[in-house]
Amino acid sequence: MRILRLISGKEAARAYPCATESPRPFWADGLELSQRWFAENLGKQVEGFHLEEGGKVIGHIYWAPSERALVPYRAEPGVAWLYCEWVQWAYRGRGCMRALFSTFLEHLKAEGYKGILVGATDYEGYMHHSHFERRGFQTIKGSNGARLMFLPLGQASVKVEPLKAKVACEGIAPVEVLVIGSLFCPVGAAAVLYLRKVAAEFGDQVILKEVPAGLEALASYGVADGIFINGEPRFFGPVTLAQVRATIEKALAETGAT
């Protein structure tokens, strides 16, 4: 095994080993879109480490400094935000994540970071809080299946507060779909691709607005990443094209437009 810090956009072509496992997950439809986003934003809104074996990327840690992190929080500078981590299922139980996280930790300590923040989940199999608790992370906020956790490095605590979402309908169509970011993860990117297709099918009954992820979007909407239909958040996790179409049809029916 070897661990590499990502420093060039060329490495984005091998990003997201979570979407290259066999059998191929259906939401990997968004892989190319996410890899393009990764290449454009590496060194800006995203940093990363890859774990390789036999020349194949089998794991990753993606993160960003708090000053540039695309998260719906305001945190003090000098803190690392851990976006996501993954080791392919076939390689689990061999200490791969332990080695990957240790390298990440050594890098942060050498750079003088104060600690690590992560949005952990209550969902087994993906960013579960128990994995972070075992490493010494402490829960500082928690609600609706998500937990904001902190691992102290240079200091014992961190100043962080959630942003208030400011998403509203513009009243320009029966169904208004607002996409903020949603390209970082292939799961979200696949949903975006499906939304583009479905919105086109309904013509001017469905308006799709895409806002690039960034600090400007954070300031305007208080949201770093998300999909909203008529002002309400939708699609938490993988969805199929059929599920996206059914959601849009239901929204149209609720407005009386169909």
- Inform me whether the pLDDT recorded for 58 exceeds 70: yes
Inform me whether the pLDDT recorded for 62 exceeds 70: yes
* Mean pLDDT on 73-88: 97
The 206-211 sheet, strands edge to edge = 206-211, 175-180, 226-229, 232-234
Say how far apart CA 107 and CA 1 lie, in whole Å: 18
What CATH superfamily is the domain 2-162?
A: Gcn5-related N-acetyltransferase (GNAT) (3.40.630.30)
Residue 88's pLDDT band (boundaries 50, 70, 90)? very high
pLDDT of residue 145: 61
Angle between helices 241-255 and 186-201 (to 10 degrees): 50
Tell me what pLDDT residue 258 has: 61
Contact 151, 116 (CB under 8 A): yes
CATH of domain 175-255: 3.40.30.10
Q: pLDDT tens digits, residue range 20-42?
A: 998 899 899 999 999 999 999 99
- Which two structure tokens, joined as six digits, stand for 161? 């507060």
pLDDT per residue over 203-233, tens digit each? Answer: 999 999 999 999 899 999 999 999 999 999 9
Q: Report pLDDT for 174.
A: 96
What average pLDDT does range 79-107 have in this prediction? 96
What does the pLDDT look like over 99-153, one tens digit per residue? 999 999 999 999 999 999 999 998 887 899 999 999 999 999 875 567 999 999 9
Q: Tell me: cis bond preceding 186? Omega within 30 of 0 counts.
A: no
Please state, in angstroms and rounded to a whole number, the distance separating the CA atoms of residues 169 and 141.
29
Helix or strand or coil: residue 156? coil
Domains of the chain: which residue ranges? Answer: 2-162, 175-255
Q: Is pLDDT at 162 greater than 60 in this prediction?
A: yes
